Structure 1
Amino acid sequence: MSTSSCTGGCLCGAIRYEGTGTPYNVSHCHCLDCRRANAAPMVTWVSFGIDDFHYIQGSPKEIHWAGRIRSFCPECGTPLTFLSSAQATEVDVTVCSLDNPEFLTPADHTWVEDRLPWVHVSDGLPAYPRERSSHTKP
């Protein structure tokens, strides 16, 4: 997806956001933290530069833990973002909170060593035991 603006928000509409510039690092994450925080077998993320992401309506609740910040809607609980001190220049956004997630194509799977045994990675995308060695920024 090459665009100048991506918008999205939570299920109830209390939170709206905008990511500008070109989104990058579209990836399925299978790590235990993401699975638990999102109550899902995996989470698909997309990255934006930290200065290219802004909330345009509402304020999310943030949970700070182990050098990471996860945000979600305080009204409906929709998971929204992930920030890590290890990648302080980017914000990861849950792809399915975007208004048009169908325009993004995942590039890989990360943390497959944590995947649930009944999740089969058979889509032909690269699969990394943990993190990929680098983040691909446009």
Structure 2
Amino acid sequence: MLTGGCHCGSVRYETADAPFERALCHCELCRRTTGAPAVAWFTVRESALRLTGEPATYASSDHAVRTFCGRCGTQITFKDAAYGDRIDLTTASLDDPEAAPPVEQIWVRSRLPWMAAAHALPDDLDRRPTEA
């Protein structure tokens, strides 16, 4: 069972389906709708997904809708009408994101050039924002 939800807990989900796709997406739409340089997604059958709460929806294109928590803003799903009974969920919204790590990267032609070198950036594991 995979479970997850938004940051504030208003929207929750669960699925017994094993993900059949797990990817790190570099497309511009994912970047713009999340404010992140890439988004990790996993895909299950929509009919096997149980969503609770009242997620807000946003038509990010003429054929795709994204859901997110209207209270805290966490993006939860991506649904493309062209793909039938399948829905993508944001991997980082899982209670245990290690349960469905990406196994491939998609839309790599759109990848921000500095993302290719991100693994070489120094680690600062304990950094906290400084107070002004």
Q: Tell me whether the two structures share a fold, i.e. TM-score over 0.5.
A: yes
What is the DSSP-based 3-state SS (H/G/I as helix, E as strand, rest coil) of the residue aligned with 2:89?
strand
Match of 2:53 in 1: 58
Asked whether the 8 Å contact 2:91–2:101 carries over to 1, the reply is no
| 8 Å contact from structure 1 (residues 20, 48) kept in 2 | no
Question: Equivalent of 2:77, from 65, 76, 81?
Answer: 81
Q: Distance in 1 between matches of 2:101 and 2:3?
A: 16
| Segments ≥4 residues shifted beyond 3 Å | none
The aligned amino acid for 2:111 is: R
- CA-to-aligned-CA distance 1:31-74 (integer Å, 9 cap, x gap): 0000001110000000010101111x311000123100100000
Instruction: Flag structure 2 segments of 5+ consecutive residues without an equivalent.
Output: 120-132
Normalising by structure 1, report the TM-score. 0.81
In the TM superposition, what is the alpha-carbon distance from 1:117 to its structure 2 partner?
1.0
User: Structure 1, residues 13-44: CA drift from partner, whole Å, max 9, x if none?
Assistant: 11111112211200000000000011100000
How far off its partner does 1:121 sit?
7.1
Find out whether 1:17 has 2:13 as its counterpart.
yes
Distance in 1 between residues matched to 2:37 and 2:85, nearest whole Å: 27
Please report how far the alpha carbon of residue 105 of structure 1 lies from its aligned counterpart in structure 2 after TM superposition.
Answer: 2.7
Ranges in structure 1 where 5+ consecutive residues have no aligned partner? 124-138
Count, aligned residues: 118
Higher helix proportion, which one?
A: 2
For residue 17 of structure 1, give the secondary structure of its aligned residue in structure 2.
strand
* Cα drift, residue 103 of structure 1: 2.0
Identity among equivalent positions (%) equals 38
Cα distance in 2 for residues equivalent to 1:68 and 1:9: 20
Deviations 1:91-110 (A, max 9, x none): 10000000011122311100
User: What is the aligned-residue RMSD (CA, Å)?
Assistant: 1.5
